[in-house]
Structure 1
Amino acid sequence: MLPNWLTEEYLQPRLRTYYNDDRLKVLKIWSKAATGKGENFVGIMTRIYVNYQLGDGSVQEKSYIVKQALPEDVPQAEVFFEYELYTREMDMYEFVLPKMQKLLHEAGISGRLTADAITVDREHSTMILEDLAPLKYVNADRVKLLDLPHTKLTLEMLAKFHAAGAVLKQRHPELLTKCFYTHFFSRDKKGYTEVYTGMFRAFLRFVNGQPNLKKSYGDKLAKLSSHIMEYGARVFDVEENELQTLIHGDCWTTNVMFHYDAEGSPQSVVAIDFQLGSCTSPAVDLHYFLTTSLREEFKDRESELVVYHYNALKRNLEKLSYTGLIPSLQEYQVQFERRRFMSLLANLFKPIMIYNGSEETSDFSSLYKETPEGIRYQNAVYDSDVVLRNTTNLLALLDSKKLLDIQK
């Protein structure tokens, strides 16, 4: 359903500007939902189709993605506005991403980072974006997750993103306004405390339902539960000698899109959804991405993949003539290890990300509230052999590193 203000008269001047054709005429607009029920809790996404006539008389039909903020009366909208998710993404598409893309282009680093923004409309908290589907970009299977070629391609893209972000922070710090120094664990905000503590409660309920896991980790996790927001904040803290850049903040299977060759091999990748970008260590993105998106059989390649990302990041920073301190590989590995608690926090979302059952919800609070619907949904997403194996392996690793103990 199109918003009533999105008319031919509204869209025409914006397409004229984007295509640099002051005689372009919009003939017709129609739409359909761009995501299914339960696929997007943060906003409303619609794919619109537009018939328009160019100045040379030719007629074209193209599709675009319209991203709207949730109405303010929707219960979860309040917390999204508190963390400025919509302002942040509009800033990303209007100011930050175009500047990052320009920096990369000027340095001779090829490849696009994301879709173009046709228009950013702050009055309506809406963006109209290029539709990547006609360009043959598609999502990989979120249930099967990513193999090594997909993973390495994404790590290369993140390395370009992180390098451009570091240079942008150095040369154009005014573009990274206050919202880019806010994240879900910011100590001066409380809205997401209920979300994470509720999701951790669901996780603990699952662990306590598995006798072996309960025996090994139940008591430790129960004691840990009141500390997770502070430990999450420490993950985002950056020391003076560490590399700080703009991260994507939500890089997982569904937020990257791949282009394939005729044999079905991935050739390029772009990122989408930029509500959670913030300035911190790039290692935060690595933990989140590798935890949520890498196939289980490749988990033992983690150290190799960190080196792969580091080498690409260093190479891009040098091409961009970055004048800040570039960490050595050993220093970067220490920075990565220092943020390993992020893997536990990211893992709270993973059962939802890979869930392929019949229990649906469009209510964000079902992820974390102990309502009948919430508990039913949480139990459904955890009812999986894959989730059990992931959890068993992750908790064993974290426990071996003393990360399930109370920290000083």
Structure 2
Amino acid sequence: MLPTWLTEEYLQPRLRAYYKDDGLKVLKIWAKPATGKGENFVGIMTRIHVDYQLGDGSEQKKSFIVKQALPEDVPQAKVFFEYDLYTREMDMYEFVLPKLKELLAEAGLVGKLTADAIAVDRQYSTMILEDLAPYKYVNADRVKMLDLAHTKLTVEMLAKFHAAAIILKQRHPELLTKCFSTHFFSRDKKAYTEVYLGIFKVFLKFINGHPNLKQSYGAKLEKLWPHIMEYGARVYDVAEGELQTLNHGDCWTTNIMFQYDEAGIPQTVVAIDFQFSNCTSPANDLHYFFTTSLREEVRNKEPELVEHHYNTLKANLERFSYQGMFPSLQEYQLQFERRRFMSLMAHLFKPFMIYNGSEETSDFSSLYKETPEGLRFQKSVYESEVVLRSATKLLAILDSKGLLDLQ
């Protein structure tokens, strides 16, 4: 359904400004939902089709993505409003991403970073974005997760984004307003505490349902449970001398899109969905991405992927003639290691991200609340060999590093 205010009269001046054509006339608009059920808990996405005539008389048909904030009466909306998610994403598309695009072009780092914003409307908490489908950008399979070729491309894209953002922070610090210091574990916010404590409890129930895992980790995880928000917050704290930049903040399979060649090999990648972007260590983006989106055999290549990100980031910054502080590889590896708790926090969402069963939900709270629908959904999501293998491996790593003990 089109919002009632999204009319030809509304869209015409915005398309004129975007295409720099004062003679452009919008002839017709119609719409389809842009995502399937359960694919987007944070906003409403609609694909609109627009017929318009250019100033020179020629006619065009194009599609755009309209992304709206959830209505305030939707239960999870209050969580997203408290964390400035909508303001933040509008700031990203209106101010930050266009500036990053400009900086990358200046350094000769070509290629698309994301979809352009045609219009950002704060009155309606709405963005009208370029539709990437006509450029043949598609999502990879979130259930199968990513192979090495997809992973390396994404790591390179993140290194490009992180490098441009380091320069942005130097030259235009005013663009990174206070909402960019907010994250899931912000100590002055409350709503995500319920989400994380709830979802950790679901994870604990799953661990306790497997005798071997319960014996090895059950008691430790029980003790850890009350402290996870503080440990999560520490992951985002950046010490003096550590690398800090703007992160994507939610980099996983569904928020990245690829273009492929005839042989089905991914050639380019773009990022979408920037409502969780925040200023912290780039290592957080890597932990989150590696944990949620990589196939097992690729996950095993973590040390070389961290090194690949480091080398690409360094090379990109050299193209900007960057003069600021930059860590040695060993220092960067330590900064990555210091944030390993992030992999546990990201893993709490992984079963839902790679779920392929028939139990559906469109309610975000079903991920963590003990309602009949929630309990059914959680049980179904955790009945997965992949999740069991992934959790077993992750807990062994975290335990061997002492991260399941109280800090």
Give the TM-score taking structure 2 as reference length. Answer: 0.99
2:148 maps to a residue whose letter is L
Q: How does 1:5-404 map to 2 (within 5 A)?
A: 5-404=5-404
SS in 2 for 1:61: strand
1:345 maps to a residue whose letter is M
Let me know the Cα RMSD of the aligned residues.
0.6
* TM superposition shift of 1:111: 1.2
SS in 2 for 1:52: strand
* TM superposition shift of 1:58: 1.0
* TM superposition shift of 1:153: 0.2
* TM superposition shift of 1:351: 0.3
Q: Structure 2: which 5+ runs fail to align?
A: none
Write the distance in 2 (CA, Å) between the matches of 1:173 and 1:128: 26
1:19 maps to a residue whose letter is Y
Write the distance in 1 (CA, Å) between the matches of 2:344 and 2:24: 51
SS in 2 for 1:138: coil
* TM superposition shift of 1:323: 2.3
**4+ residue segments displaced more than 4 Å:** none
* TM superposition shift of 1:316: 0.7
2:228 maps to a residue whose letter is I
2:255 maps to a residue whose letter is N
SS in 2 for 1:35: coil
Write the distance in 1 (CA, Å) between the matches of 2:39 and 2:104: 32
% identity of equivalent residues: 78
Write the distance in 1 (CA, Å) between the matches of 2:296 and 2:341: 19
1:346 maps to a residue whose letter is A
Q: Deviation per CA, 1:82-120: give whole Å up to 9, x if none.
A: 000000000000000000110110111111210000000
Write the distance in 2 (CA, Å) between the matches of 1:58 and 1:47: 23
* TM superposition shift of 1:43: 0.4
Write the distance in 2 (CA, Å) between the matches of 1:33 and 1:299: 34
Write the distance in 1 (CA, Å) between the matches of 2:323 and 2:160: 16
* TM superposition shift of 1:324: 1.6
* TM superposition shift of 1:73: 1.0
Q: Deviation per CA, 1:359-385: give whole Å up to 9, x if none.
A: 000011111111111111111111100
Write the distance in 1 (CA, Å) between the matches of 2:145 and 2:322: 34
* TM superposition shift of 1:322: 2.1
1:160 maps to a residue whose letter is K
* TM superposition shift of 1:139: 0.3
Write the distance in 1 (CA, Å) between the matches of 2:283 and 2:201: 26
* TM superposition shift of 1:321: 2.2
Q: Deviation per CA, 1:151-190: give whole Å up to 9, x if none.
A: 0000000000000111111110000000000101011111
Write the distance in 2 (CA, Å) between the matches of 1:110 and 1:140: 23
Write the distance in 2 (CA, Å) between the matches of 1:34 and 1:299: 31
Q: Deviation per CA, 1:287-308: give whole Å up to 9, x if none.
A: 0000001101222210010000
SS in 2 for 1:60: strand
Write the distance in 2 (CA, Å) between the matches of 1:137 and 1:342: 29
Write the distance in 1 (CA, Å) between the matches of 2:245 and 2:299: 26
SS in 1 for 2:301: helix
* TM superposition shift of 1:22: 0.5
SS in 2 for 1:240: coil
Number of aligned positions between the proteins: 407
SS in 2 for 1:28: strand
SS in 2 for 1:137: coil
* TM superposition shift of 1:354: 0.3
Q: Structure 1: which 5+ runs fail to align?
A: none
Q: Deviation per CA, 1:234-287: give whole Å up to 9, x if none.
A: 000001110110000000001000011111111100000000000000000000
Write the distance in 1 (CA, Å) between the matches of 2:300 and 2:41: 32
Write the distance in 2 (CA, Å) between the matches of 1:189 and 1:272: 25
1:319 maps to a residue whose letter is R
